Structure 1
Amino acid sequence: MNNKKAYIWKLAVFLHAQKMVMSGEELAEHLNRNNFLTSYGTEYQGGRGTYKLIKQTWEWLENDLVLNSEAQAVALAFVKQNEDTHTNKP
């Protein structure tokens, strides 16, 4: 699980630094393409499970690792489908 979280963390930092965003659906495609599976061993669909993983990554960074700016990058980099602003937080 931490491999997925670390992957999402680094992707979020890159996206945020480039002032770019990615939807949960796009993240699901990206995770599937790179052979990350859900805890059930299935591909991500871009729905609730994908957004739950984003939230878990944010909580891990914010609460466990106390990396507030990194958690902020996760909150700002991933948005709902068709959302083009940086107002989304998990």
Structure 2
Amino acid sequence: MVEVLQGIRSPQALTDLESKFEQMIYLPTDKSTWQLIQKTSPGLLRAGLPTAMPDLIIAGCAIAADATVFTYDSDFDQIPDLKVIHSFA
């Protein structure tokens, strides 16, 4: 949720998103999530695709839960095995 809130630029946008937060699935991290992140990050770096830790955590949680990430951030496209949707329509 923090990742989303950092991108909010207006009070109206925050109001519009508040109802969407009710629909979000909150996923925990566990040892297997961190191991997945640890395996994924070096490969991205070797490929010249450095990825921010918050994005890796979000991706790790989503992959572990077989969930899809809804985002406007194309950086998620570079993460193997992550299901991404770029439209909120």
TM-score of the aligned structures, taking structure 2 as reference length: 0.31
Larger RCO, structures 1/2 (Cα 8 Å, 6+ apart): 1
TM-score of the aligned structures, taking structure 1 as reference length: 0.30
- Of structures 1 and 2, the larger Rg is shown by 2
